[in-house]
Amino acid sequence: MRILVSNDDGIHSPGLAVLARVARRFGEVRVVAPVDEQSSASHAITSARPLSSRRTPWFAEAVAYRVNGTPADCVALGLQQWDDVDLVLSGINRGVNLGNAIWHSGTVAAAKQASLQGVRAIAFSTPTTHDEPDYAALEPHVERVLRLLGRNAFRDGLPDGCRLVNVNLPPQPRGMAWARQAVHGYANTIVPDEDPRGRQIFWFTAIPIEHTEPGTDLWAFGRGFITLTPLTMELTDGAALDRAREALPLDDPATAPPVAGEVREHEQDA
């Protein structure tokens, strides 16, 4: 089994080293990660300049490369450079990725890039306070998740839809739970400030969400459970689309032939 490991905290993150070490128990591992921290990079890709990839001796147990790009860049490059990858792992992120934080997460974006390219992927995150997370203590829990979601587990009956899973690990888990993404409430705010010269600046920062819905990742994680949330790349609100088509009928593109010189999105400037 070939496993590509990446993150958004950078090639020197201890969480990345732990994830690579656990992954090594399941197959051949290659690490491709950003040269520096790319937290909150979301699914940005680098298109205005070339990328460079350099071999690094940072990982004794795996071939590893550092890339001057985003988490999504790293996964795309890693999959292009290494054939027949079975699984992509991202993390272990310094800080949880729960609820609407998933939208900003570079950790989850690395896993999403794998999913876009047809490869199963799992993103791992854990909370942080003033101290560095105890990544080593999370090793048995990461291994447990990988055994649950590994290739053989999918063959034995896990739904095919679980090809992109977001996992959040409490420091001392009480168990594991499937959970849906919490979408009510936004945990970030803009805080105005001044720089040393008196010029106005702004901090983008997180605020705690006090009320959570039962069954969501925030709710289950707040009760001490490892949360596993299957994600989909489909952003369409299917129910809203059906209602809109019924209430406000529009044209049917199926009745028209393709336009000559059809636009191809990858040939257009972003």
Q: In sequence order, what are the residues at sequence separation of 6 or more whose Cβ sits closer than 8 angstroms to the Cβ of residue 136? A: 18
The three-class DSSP label of residue 194 is strand
Predicted confidence at residue 145, as pLDDT, reads 95
Structure tokens at 228: 């596993």
CA angle 46, 47, 51 (to 5 degrees): 60
In the predicted model, is pLDDT for residue 150 greater than 80?
A: no
48 alpha-carbon distance from chain centroid: 23
Give helix 71-81 / helix 106-116 axis angle, nearest 10°.
30
25-39, 52-66, 179-193: range with highest mean pLDDT: 25-39
Predicted confidence at residue 156, as pLDDT, reads 47
In the predicted model, is pLDDT for residue 180 greater than 90?
A: yes
Residue-wise pLDDT for 112-122, tens only, equals 999 999 999 99
Q: Which residue has the tokens 């106005």?
A: 200
Predicted confidence at residue 158, as pLDDT, reads 53
Residue 261 sits at φ, ψ, to 5 deg, of 70, 45
Structure tokens at 75: 């996964």
CA neighbours closer than 13 Å in the CB half-sphere of residue 261: 1
In sequence order, the β-bridge partners of residue 194 are: 200
Length of the chain: 270
In the predicted model, is pLDDT for residue 139 greater than 80?
A: yes
pTM, to two decimals: 0.88
- In 10 A of CB 215, how many CB atoms? 12
